[in-house]
Amino acid sequence: MPLTRILFASDIHGSKLVWVKFLNMIEEYKANIAIMAGDLSAKEILPIAHNAKSNSYQATLFGKKYDVRSKQEVNDLQEQAKAFGILPLITDNNELQKISDDPTYQRKIFEDLDIVSILEWIEIAKNRSFDKNIKIIMITGNDDSRRIDEILRKDDLILYPDQGLDLDAYHKLISFEYVNPTPWNSPRELPEKELKKKLEHVFNSVNDYDHVVAAIHAPPFKSGLDNAPKLDKKKRPVHVLGAPSYSPVGSKAVREVIEKYQPKLTLHGHIHESGGVTRIGRTLSINPGSDYDGGILKAYLIQLSKEKIEGLKFVEDTGFDPLFF
């Protein structure tokens, strides 16, 4: 019986370099299914401001100041930013002031740049010579705007499983992008009670949980996949004896639903620092973790047969792609 080989990663937050590595891994490991699950959006913008007096473009990236003039230099600066999940914005001082003064306009600019980024990723994927039977699945997370969902739903290459989809002849994928409340007030957060109600609805849309794969962005509470740095009232990491202190921040509702339905496999992200694998009853739960801002891809290869999970391997790409350097 042929095996289904899944490549699973999450939380790349706008990193074009990590996306390219993900596409490379599909080919390298001969995955049938590639799932990029949750938090596709970047976290910051790089203003590249035009200075009319000097006819140059100025920016500060990773603490280094740039003053560039040629089109190639500007393009190189943009690509370096995109590699590490920073959205470049060609602008001027007048627009920068408007962005600073108007939070609504700021949000629109951010979302517009995110859409441009996602469309660029999809175009890169389309230019690869992937076998037509390979399924590339992208799922949004708590940091992603609804506009990204719309883009993914309309695309003819990318699969977006908001209504569930068949992974193979036996396995069904369901997904859930909401998380329990965080200090960051991200777009898709819900109180645990409401989160559980919505998650129950998703699980009730399928049966035969022996063959369900659930991509749930929030990891289950106290699973070892949800340990994040403790924060003080100013959202600064708490240190004890000079070392950062960690605590579980996953969802109790997610854990309760997994315990109740016992799907074959659950795929999580959200907590970058807490990659790993655990079991909750018969369910295997995975969080690959994320180092997107270092240009590092962290992922898992999972091999499924009808009966069981046949194999599991953590894979990582820490190198730099010559596309960017």
- Mean pLDDT computed over 288-300: 97
Asked whether the predicted pLDDT for residue 222 surpasses 60, the reply is: yes
Model pTM score: 0.96
Residues 6 or more apart whose Cβ sits within 8 Å of residue 233: none
Query: Quick check: 291 and 300 in contact, CB under 8 A?
Result: no
Asked whether the predicted pLDDT for residue 271 surpasses 60, the reply is: yes
Asked whether the predicted pLDDT for residue 323 surpasses 70, the reply is: no
Residues 6 or more apart whose Cβ sits within 8 Å of residue 194: none
**For residue 224, which of 177, 278, 188, 265 has the smallest C-alpha distance?**
278
The CB density around residue 117, as the number of other CB atoms within 10 Å, is 22
155-164, long-range: CB < 8 A, 24+ apart: 155/122, 157/122, 157/125, 157/126, 158/122, 158/125, 159/135, 161/137, 161/215, 164/205, 164/206
CA distance 317 to 270: 20
Q: What is the pLDDT of residues 35-78, one digit of tens each?
A: 999 999 999 999 999 999 999 999 999 999 999 999 999 999 99
State percent of the chain over pLDDT 70.
Answer: 98
User: Average pLDDT, whole number, for the chain?
Assistant: 95
Q: Which residue has the tokens 């799922």?
A: 139
Q: What is the pLDDT of residues 196-208, one digit of tens each?
A: 999 999 999 999 9
Which pLDDT score, from 0 to 100, does residue 325 have?
45
Q: Give the chain's domains with CATH numbers.
A: 4-44+113-317 (3.60.21.10), 45-103 (no CATH)
Which pLDDT score, from 0 to 100, does residue 181 have?
97
Query: Radius of gyration of the chain from Cα atoms?
Result: 20
Which pLDDT score, from 0 to 100, does residue 233 have?
87
CA distance 138 to 40: 9
Q: What is the pLDDT of residues 83-117, one digit of tens each?
A: 999 999 999 999 999 999 999 999 999 999 999 99
